Amino acid sequence: MARAAFSGAFLAFALAYTLLAFGLPMMIESGQIGPGFFPRILGTMLVVVSLYSVIRDIREPADDDTSSDHWGTVGLVTVITIAFIAMLSILGALVAMVLFMFVTLYVLNRQGMIANVVLSILLPVSLYLLFDVWLNTTLPRGILALFSG
């Protein structure tokens, strides 16, 4: 029952987020994508996935007598995420994303260091190129502003 309650709460969050996203403009006057473009896609995907999770949890309830021994890891990843948000404007989006990805992957997968390094570089660089270069959005520069005149 606890899983279904969590899934239901997450569905409520996803619905609220999606409603906010659909309040943002999809396109701006110049014809470029607006601030609501990606949030609408993400919100819709969150609603679909969380709705599926709620239905699955109701149909196939888990044994609630078992307790998770992963609360320490959940807490650590939460702290890492808060640190990432705090350091985003100081370090800049690219540097902060690389560090966030590497530290999080290290916590969750200590055996796969090569994959951790590759993912923590490729994914943030890809996101940076997508948003900053291709879509011409403004990402926090942080310390990178010191090196770009």
Binning pLDDT at 50, 70 and 90, where does residue 18 land?
very high
Average pLDDT of every residue of the chain: 87
33 vs 62: which has the higher pLDDT: 33
Is residue 149 over pLDDT 60?
no
Whole-structure pTM value: 0.65
Rounded CA separation 107/99 (Å): 12
Give the rounded percent of residues in the chain with a pLDDT score beyond 70: 93
Amino acid present at 118: V
SS3 106: helix
- Is the distance from CB of 123 to CB of 94 less than 8 angstroms? no
Q: Which pLDDT score, from 0 to 100, does residue 140 have?
A: 84
Ordered alpha helix ranges (H), the chain: 2-21, 37-59, 71-91, 93-108, 113-128, 144-147
Q: Which pLDDT score, from 0 to 100, does residue 74 have?
A: 85
